[in-house]
Amino acid sequence: MKRILITLALVGAGMAAAPAALAQTDTTRTTQKPQLNTAPPGSAPRPAQPTQRPAVPVPAPPPVDEPLPAQRNPNSPSGLEFPKGSRASEQPKPLKKYFLYTNVGLGYSSYAGQGQFNVSLAPAIGYRVNEKFSIGPGVSYSYNSLSYSEDYRNYMRTLAQVEYPKRVLSNNVGVKVFAQYMVVGSFFAHLEYEVTRTMLKAEYDTQTSQLNRTLNTPLAGAGYRSMLGDRMAADIVVLYNFNDGIDSQGFRTSPYGQPEIRFNFLYNLSK
């Protein structure tokens, strides 16, 4: 009986110690609070942020042919200021290839007993190879009257034993080619070569003679151009005559004098 009572006491003490041990175990488990999910329902968890920020890409510049965007301008009616060179009025105009080039000559010169009067008309068609260089063919007509004083005729009769006429009249028809190069601004260089068929009439003291000849005239010089609008211009040209002179019979070797001064008119045929 005594043994039974001792056994029951030990079992009761063990059952009383069990709840205390469980309580101690629960206290250690609740020392760390659970982390609450603050993300909105249905959203994926936020990825971890990198420690280094990625490089920001630099946009590439626009292509050369692409126009720049318009800038704001408070003085413009539309409020926009377009980049320089983007307006239609600022675009390069197409090259006018063909033009009519005509010169009118009228002059009189007197030197050492010789007097010369001439009038001429020479239309040509020009072609612009580029902005500066032009070439073209043309035709020409001129009328010349060359007179010699009596003192000059006596001097040549005594010195060279040549009988000079009192006056030489000529009608000249020719073909030519020309070339021009714009040097700077409105100044240009001009080259020209002309082949002329001339019909001469020489008047002497007692007789008159006629003669047909072919003359070659190279000319070179410079000119200045004044624009008279978008399609017209006026030139003044001063040329040196490389074949200026008088042969042994008193006839001129060229239908032009020295220097040859011309007033030319230009008209653009293409818009």
According to the model, what pLDDT value does residue 258 have?
Answer: 80
Domain residue spans of the chain: 99-254
Per-range mean pLDDT, top range of 63-67, 117-121, 150-154 = 117-121
The percent of residues above 70 in pLDDT, for the chain, comes to 63
Mean local confidence (pLDDT), 124-139? 94
Instruction: At 81, list the tokens.
Output: 């200021």
Confidence of residue 137 (pLDDT cuts 50, 70, 90): very high
Count, residues in the chain: 271
Mean local confidence (pLDDT), 99-120? 80
According to the model, what pLDDT value does residue 250 have?
Answer: 63
**pTM of the model as a whole:** 0.58
Instruction: Please say whether the beta carbons of 10 and 16 come within 8 A.
Output: no
Instruction: Please say whether the beta carbons of 150 and 158 come within 8 A.
Output: no
Condensed to tens digits (0 to 9), the pLDDT of residues 164-202 reads 788 888 899 999 999 999 999 999 999 999 999 998 888
Cα–Cα distance between 205 and 170 in angstroms, integer?
18
Instruction: Please say whether the beta carbons of 107 and 115 come within 8 A.
Output: no
Handedness of CA 118, 121, 122, 126 (dihedral sign): positive
The residues, ordered by sequence, that sit 6+ positions from 114 with a Cβ below 8 Å of its Cβ are 146, 147, 148, 149, 152, 246
Condensed to tens digits (0 to 9), the pLDDT of residues 5-59 reads 566 666 555 565 555 554 454 544 545 555 555 555 555 556 655 566 666 666 6
Find where tokens 């307006």 sit: 87
SS3 153: helix
CATH class name, domain 99-254: mainly beta
For residue 102, pLDDT over 80 is answered with yes
Condensed to tens digits (0 to 9), the pLDDT of residues 236-260 reads 999 999 988 777 666 778 888 788 8
In one-letter notation, the amino acid at residue 258 is: Q
Of the two residues 156 and 72, the one the predictor is more confident about is 156
